[in-house]
Amino acid sequence: MNAFSCQSARSFKSVIWTAGLVLLAAIVLAVASLLPESSPLHASAFVVSLAGKYLAYAMLALSVDLVWGFAGILTLGHAAFFGLGGYAMGMYLMREIGARGAYGDANLPDFMVFLSWKSLPWYWCGTDHFAWAMMLVLVVPALLAGVFGWLAFRSRVSGVYLSIITQALTYALMLAFFQNGFGFGGNNGLTDFKDILGADLHAPATRAALLVATGIALAASLLAARFIVGSRFGNLLVAVRDSENRTRFLGYRPDQVKLLVWIFSAMLAAVGGALYVTQVGIINPGEFAPANSIESVIWVAVGGRGTLSGAVLGAILVNFGKTLFTAWLPEFWLYGLGLLFICTTLFLPNGIMGLWRPTRKNDPEDITPEVSAPEGEHP
Amino acid sequence: MTEALLLDVRDVSVTFDGFRAINSLSLALKPGEMRAIVGPNGAGKTTMMDIITGKTRPDSGTATFKGHDLTRLDEPAIARLGIGRKFQKPTVFEALTVTENLLLSLKGIRSPFAVLFARQSSRERARLAELLSLTRLENVANSTAGDMSHGQKQWLEIGMLMGQEPDLLLVDEPVAGMTDAETMATADLLREINKTRSVVVVEHDMDFVRALGVPVTVLHEGSVLAEGTLDDVSADPRVIEVYLGR
Amino acid sequence: MRKLGLACLLAALCMGGGLGGASARADDFSGLASPQFDDVSASITALAANGSAQADAALQALETHHLFSGADGALFIRAGEVCQNARTGEATTCPEEGLKPVRVNNRIRKALAGVQAVRELSAQQPAERIKAAETFYARHDAAFLPALDRALSSEKIPAVREKLMQAHAATVLAQPPAEGAQAARLKAVGFLADVGGLEARGLLAGVAANVGEAPEVRHAAQSAVSRIDWHLRIWSVLQNAFYGLSYGSVLLLAATGLAITFGVMGVINMAHGEMMMIGAYVTWLVQQGIQMTVPALEPFALLIAIPAAFVVCGGLGVVIERCLIRFLYGRPLETLLATWGLSLVLQQVTRSLFGPTNIAVQTPAWLSGSLALGGLDITLNRLAILVFAGLVLGGLMLVLRRTPLGLQMRAVTQNRRMAALMGIRTPKVDALAFGLGAGLAGLAGVAVSQIDNVSPNLGQSYIIDSFMVVVFGGVGNLWGTLAAAMALGMGGKVLEPTIGAVSAKIAILVLVIAYIQRHPRGMFPVRGRGIES
């Protein structure tokens, strides 16, 4: 007898397809960008960095889908982890500039010279080593997510309350990073990067390599996420979402279950943020804006919550739409985005992926933890 | 004497915002025993279950299970000790299939990491088959729990409780909304379960309690009013006044 | 009293006249013709002491840029093409050439102001004399010491005397210590210590730090400084408390509506901030409309805007509930997303209609200015908002406790299913609750328009803080909302001076996050067994 449900089996297949497609698209674009400019198939640097940006956003969307679609935690603060990952990568890229900055200081980034700091703050130590910076990319968001999640889940903060405090978290980070004294370049953030691992960031080959790296990271994340939600742990996540009390009386600890997926999700978002920075060339406190977090939720909603592939699809589609809109009708983008929020929640509760799947009575949208009736509590 | 008790609740009191839900209540259960608990609304039946399962902490008093202090443990720890709880409203994981529901309930792996890397063992496969046949849900093994009827959900939940292999089963109003025939079938099922496990049943339905044929504890305003066979307590004038005689 | 003032004036004139007579040909006027500002300034002081009609006229002309210097130190007061000799007052013809205006810079202006104050010292109105004394207090310029002495000798009104003594003490202390002046300086220190304030503190600190000063005086000054510091700190704490109360009342206004919708419907309305923004724009529209139609009513435009904003936002709220929210019942998280989308649309609509920049909402005259209360500076508009927030909260409580709608809303908050079973039409209650919440946001918008910039982004700057208030205070309890709003408002303002505004905000956010994690249902949770925990 098969322990896995049909639903899981179906999402398995689409996720593998999506991972493959993402990787293929990244490679094709990367190769096209290396073709001579005269070639009709040549992809410009703009297109390559745009594609890289979309894929990095898709990683953010994937991380949101893991916690929202499967564990029922509506996060309005995942941009915090994305931003932290971005800043950790940005620190390394800043150090790579070395003496080529405007002030020519071999040790201090420009903005610190500007603030007439004499030495690096302790948390910048070691960021000139790529490996250490990559560790920061993973560890710092994981630590933040760990502490935050441990406190929140243990106290059974859930539903709208949790959403609001995740939003407060990213808002607080935004305010902090805006401050010059915080040591991350204040308003301007980190930018003017020159190269990564010795390779010129503006060279077509480096850009192509970064795009492929992002494609690989996204595909790998998709597969990892698929492994998680397809495992018994994935069932447990859904169980926690549907009835936290029942899992508790079965002997599971829902707080630990949620914490585990929460931390993993934060790390995925952070990797996305790190890759984003390499391709966009700047990270500033604006990335922490609560609006960004909420936007990433709508990507997931558009693509289809709880499907993994849908998150990737939604992120790419919405951002593609944003690129078109802002180029042609910049004033109407907010109308478009606003209506997208409204229409998706009203008319497309299962997202685009839901159009393929037969709608079932008990899809995640029907059961939000907040409204599950009190269990056996009325005497 | 005390060592022989499976569950020993003594002098427990709990207050919600000034309202005394449980007032110096004591309840003792020997291994293998089945007990029915009756009482009017607000008598403290559900709160008592909450205390035993760790959902509510008592203000005073002790509660021990197999020698463990229940007042210091949380719900998962108590569940792992071997106390299963069935809610009044069937509570299953609606988005999961029947098999997945049962698999999660099986005694064994509980830590999140272990669950992540768990693969179905042959022992688990056998247990699943057993539970599916016990609950007569083989035909719907792969359909989603949310799609099933009320009765099927009740049975699935009981199957999940059996999967937990608890030593003590707490059952909250199992026959609410059932036909007479279903009620009797459920009584049979509980007696069957009682052959291997201790059971505490909270119920309103006197016919059902009579069918169980077990000692009865009557609760009133948070404390024990009377204890004994159903006939004994039915004859108790105080019981008649507060509960039967209304 | 008038007699007395006249006597002062006469005395001043006589003394000045005496001086002037002695040095008539040394010429108090000659400095004015000098290119050196030092000389001009000295001349001004001399002329002020001189006090003759011609001196006054010359000074006045200097002030109004009508004073010109000619060749070899001649001075003319020129009005158009007519000139008169500044020294004598005789009308003459204006020289053809070499007529240069006497330049006036800040220093000269200050000297002139001093002269003006000296004049006011002998004014008839005590209030003017007090003002003059205050000017001298602030300037503590040794040159005016004689004038002060003079004024003190003749002043009889205690309040004016007090001010004059203060000015005298400050002026005395501002001079370098001299032999034999110890007793006078000690007295002055004692005086200034009682006066308090930053000005006195600065002077006293200077004295305390001056090694040339007698140790006794330095010691007294030192203890006076610490005493003043303590007073200043108390006042600054009180001032911050007022700012905190004021910000808290804004938060309260913003959060009550949010708390109502969240309490009754379990819905977080992310477009709540935009309702505030719309309330502020309604205020502006009402002001513009009244300006154009009935200018006589202009002072009351703000009062008219209050019901207007409530009705417009409340109506909009009902429409939103009927067209959007009701399709999302039981899905609070989706509602959150949909209302967020709505907030984006509302912002953009406002931007398209009114432009992206700030609009100027007027503050009526009766709300401008401030009230000094001891060391406190209470601005009227903030005070008004405080009162307004109290009134709104009181009114809301009345609605909730005394009206059928309030009863139904409370019933739905506590047990929706039971309320429905008892015949309460929950959809209607939801629509009205949402409308009420939006209307309250409109009121908050009117209030905010008086203290903050009004732009399409207005809502966003308040929404997170309002959320914090609601989750901090707990659901379904207006007292909780009040306590949370005041706690957050005061907390931020109390932390601000020590760690800075942004850090204070971060600290408050982190504290609330930590608090929510300990008390997941806020400060005043609705308790009971029926509540899912």
Worst-scoring range by mean pLDDT, A139-143, C153-157, C323-327? C153-157
In a domain, A377, yes or no: no
Q: What is the mean pLDDT of chain C?
A: 82
Mean pLDDT (chain A) is 87
Tell me the pLDDT tens digit for each residue of B39-68: 877 788 888 888 999 888 889 999 999 989
The partner residues of A116 in beta bridges, in order of sequence, read none
Residue of C207, C168, C184, C356 whose CA lies nearest to C277: C356
Residue of C166, C144, C107 whose CA lies nearest to C12: C144
pLDDT higher than threshold 80 for residue B199 = yes
Q: Do A378 and B46 touch (CB under 8 A)?
A: yes
From-to residues of CATH 3.40.50.300 in chain B: 1-82+166-246
pLDDT at A68 over 90: yes
Instruction: Read off the pLDDT of each residue in A127-147 and give the average, rounded to a whole number.
Output: 95
For tokens 């000798």, what's the residue? Answer: C153
Residue of B53, B96, B124, B202 to mutate when probing chain A, most A C-beta within 10 A: B96
State the amino acid at position B176 in one-letter form: A
Nearest to C20 by CA among C47, C44, C59, C58: C47
Element (H, E) at B25: strand B19-29
Nearest to A250 among B105, B113, B116 (CB): B105
Question: What pLDDT, on the 0 to 100 scale, is given for residue A12?
Answer: 65
Instruction: List, for residues A234-262, the tens digit of each pLDDT value.
Output: 999 999 998 888 999 999 999 999 999 99
| Confidence at residue B246, expressed as pLDDT on a 0 to 100 scale | 46
Kindly state the average pLDDT of the residues A58-77. Answer: 94
The distance of B111 to chain A (nearest Cα, Å) reads: 7
pLDDT digits (tens, 9 = 90+) for C67-86: 888 777 788 888 777 788 88
Q: Which of A171, A339, A377 has the CB atom closest to C530's CB atom?
A: A377
Q: Are B164 and A251 in contact (CB < 8 Å)?
A: yes
Pick the residue with more confidence: A73 or A160?
Answer: A73
A 167-196 near B (Cβ less than 8 A): none
Confidence of residue C525 (pLDDT cuts 50, 70, 90): low
- A321 or C110: whose pLDDT is higher? A321
Question: C163-190: per-residue pLDDT in tens?
Answer: 888 888 888 877 777 777 777 788 888 8
Structural domain that includes position A238: 6-367
Whether residues B142 and A253 touch (CB distance < 8 A) is answered with: no
Residues of chain C positioned with their CB less than 8 A from the CB of A176: 502, 506
For residue A1, being part of any structural domain is answered with no
Model confidence over C119-162: pLDDT tens digits?
777 777 888 888 888 887 877 777 777 777 878 888 888 888 88
Chain B CB within 8 Å of residue A71 CB? no
Contacts C527 to B, Cβ<8 Å: 16-17
Mean per-residue pLDDT for C408-423? 83
For the cut 80, the answer to whether the pLDDT of residue C478 exceeds it is: yes
What is the mean pLDDT of the segment spanning C211-220?
A: 80
pLDDT range class, residue C423, cuts 50, 70, 90:
confident
Yes or no: say if C112 and C100 are a contact pair by the CB < 8 Å rule.
no
Neighbours of B221 (CB within 10 A): 15
Model pLDDT, residue C526? 56
Beta pairing, strands A190-191 & A282-283: antiparallel
Q: Which residues in C lie closer than 8 A to residue A332 (C-beta atoms)?
A: 348
A379, part of any domain:
no
The yes-or-no verdict on residue C12 having pLDDT over 70 is no
pLDDT digit string (tens) for C429-452? 889 999 999 999 999 999 999 988
CB atoms within 10 A of CB C128: 17
Q: Which of A198-212, B109-123, C127-141 has the lowest mean pLDDT?
A: C127-141
pLDDT digits (tens, 9 = 90+) for A20-44: 999 999 999 999 999 998 888 898 9
* Chain B nearest C-alpha distance from A103 (Å): 50
Confidence of residue C213 (pLDDT cuts 50, 70, 90): confident
Contacts of residue A31, Cβ cutoff 8 Å, sequence gap at least 6? A208
Residue A273 has what pLDDT?
97
Listed range (A59-63, C5-9, C309-313, C408-412) with the worst mean pLDDT: C5-9
Whether A249 sits inside 8 A of B144 (CB atoms) is no
C518-531 average pLDDT score: 59
- Residue A146's pLDDT is what? 96
List the one residue out of B222, B246, B218 whose CA is nearest residue B234: B218
- Looking at residue C382, its amino acid is R
The length of chain A in residues reads: 379
CB contacts < 8 A, B to C, total 8
B172: closest chain A residue by CA:
A376
Please tell me the predicted confidence (pLDDT) of residue A371.
Answer: 32
Range in A79-88, A276-285, C6-15, C507-516 with the lowest mean pLDDT: C6-15
Query: A2 CB near a chain B CB, below 8 Å?
Result: yes
Q: Which CATH class is domain B1-82+166-246?
A: alpha beta
CA distance C60 to B54: 90
Q: Are A293 and A79 in contact (CB under 8 A)?
A: yes
Please determine, for residue A376, whether its predicted confidence score (pLDDT) is greater than 80. Answer: no
The pLDDT value given to residue C476: 65
Distance CA A22, CA C382 (A): 57
Touching subunits of B (3+ CB pairs, under 8 Å) are: A, C
C336-353: pLDDT as tens digits? 889 999 999 999 999 999
Does residue C84 contact residue C90 with C-beta atoms inside 8 Å? yes
Task: Categorize the per-residue pLDDT at A329 as very low, low, confident or very high, splitting at 50, 70 and 90.
Answer: confident
> Nearest C-alpha of chain A: how many angstroms from C529?
7
- Identify the sign of the CA torsion A219, A220, A221, A222: positive
Spatial separation of the C-alpha atoms in residues A299 and A309, rounded to whole Å: 11
Q: How many CB pairs (< 8 A) connect A and C?
A: 150
Transcribe C159-187 into DSSP letters.
Answer: HHHHHHHHHHHHHHHHSPP-TT-HHHHHH
Question: In whole angstroms, what is the distance from residue C499 CA to residue C514 CA?
Answer: 19
pTM of the model: 0.80
Helix (H) or strand (E) holding B23: strand B19-29
- Phi and psi at C527, nearest 5°, equal -100, 165
> For strand B168-172 and strand B198-202, is the pairing parallel, antiparallel, or unpaired?
parallel
Token pair 């001004």 in the structure block, residue:
C44
Q: What pLDDT sits at residue C189?
A: 83
Give the Cα separation of A92 and A194 in Å (integer).
11
- How do beta strands B216-220 and B34-38 pair? parallel
Task: Spell out which residues of chain B touch residue C528, defining contact as CB-CB under 8 Å.
Answer: 16-17
pLDDT band of residue B230 (cuts 50, 70, 90) is confident
Inter-chain CB pairs, A–B, below 8 Å? 145
Under an 8 A CB cutoff, do A364 and B100 touch? no
Comparing C-alpha atoms, which of B73, B67, B77, B58 is closest to residue B20?
Answer: B58
Which C-chain residues 337-366 have CB contacts (< 8 A) with chain A? 337-338, 340-345, 347-348, 351-352
| C→B interface, C-beta within 8 Å | 527-529
Say whether pLDDT at C57 is over 70: yes
* % pLDDT > 90, chain C: 22
Say if the Cβ atoms of C529 and B17 lie within 8 Å.
no
Looking at residue C384, its amino acid is: A
Distance from CA of C524 to the nearest CA of B (A): 12
Q: Which helix (H) or strand (E) holds C321?
A: helix C301-323
Predicted confidence at residue A364, as pLDDT, reads: 41
A243: three-class secondary structure by DSSP: coil
Domain annotation covers residue A38 = yes
d(CA B238, CA B220): 10
Q: Do B46 and A377 touch (CB under 8 A)?
A: yes
Please check whether residue C214 is in contact with residue C176, taking contact to mean a CB–CB distance below 8 angstroms: no
- From the CA of B155, how many Å to the nearest CA of chain A? 15
Q: Is residue B128 very low, low, confident or very high in pLDDT (cuts 50, 70, 90)?
A: very high
Select from A43, A26, A22, A25 the least CA-distant residue to A34: A43
pLDDT reading at C487 higher than 70: yes
Q: Distance between CA A366 and CA A358 in Å, rounded?
A: 14
Residues of C in contact with A371 (CB under 8 A): 266, 330-332
**pLDDT tens profile C224-278:** 888 888 888 888 888 888 888 999 999 999 999 988 888 777 788 899 999 999 9
pLDDT confidence bin for C532, thresholds 50/70/90: very low
Name chain A's partners: 3 or more CB pairs within 8 A. Answer: B, C
Give pLDDT tens digits for A269-307. 999 999 999 999 999 999 999 999 999 999 999 999 889
Mark yes or no for CB contact C529/B46 under 8 Å.
Answer: yes
Cα–Cα distance measured from residue C86 to residue C101, given in angstroms and rounded to the nearest whole number? 13
* pLDDT band, residue C293 (cuts 50/70/90): very high
Contacts of A157 in chain C (CB under 8 A): 516-517, 520
Structural domain tally of chain A? 1
The distance between the two most distant Cα atoms of chain B, rounded to a whole number of Å, is 59
Residue B221 clears pLDDT 90, i.e. is over it: no
Q: Which residues lie across from B226 on neighbouring strands?
A: B218
A294 token code pair: 């909420």
Find the mean pLDDT for residues B95-100.
Answer: 92
**Inter-chain residue contact B104 with A235, CB threshold 8 Å:** yes
A202 touches chain C (CB under 8 A): no
In C, which residues are within 8 Å of A175 by CB distance?
502, 505-506, 509
When computed from its CA atoms, the radius of gyration of chain A, rounded to whole angstroms, is 21
**What number of other Cβ atoms are within 10 A of residue A1's Cβ?**
11
Indicate the pairing of strand B19-29 with strand B7-16. Answer: antiparallel
Average pLDDT for residues C385-413, to the nearest whole number?
89
- Tell me the one-letter amino acid at C377: D
pLDDT tens per residue across span A173-188: 999 999 988 889 999 9
Q: Which two tokens stand for residue B115?
A: 């669950």
**pLDDT at residue C472 greater than cutoff 90:** no
Rounded distance between C-alpha atoms, residue A299 and residue A344, angstroms: 10
Which of C529, C531, C532, C533 best tests the B interface by mutation, with the highest count of B CBs <10 A? C529
Task: ipTM value, please give it.
Answer: 0.88
**Torsion sign across C-alpha atoms C347, C352, C358, C362:** negative
Query: Which residues are within 8 A (CB) of A318 and not within 5 positions of it... i.e. 6 or more apart?
Result: A295, A298, A299, A302, A337, A340
Residue B245 reports pLDDT greater than 60 = no
Residues 248-287 on A with a CB inside 8 Å of B are 248-253, 256-257, 259-260
Q: How far is B47 from chain C (nearest CA, A)?
A: 9
Q: Which of B17, B46, B47 sits opposite C527 (nearest CB)?
A: B17
Residue A129 lies in a domain: yes
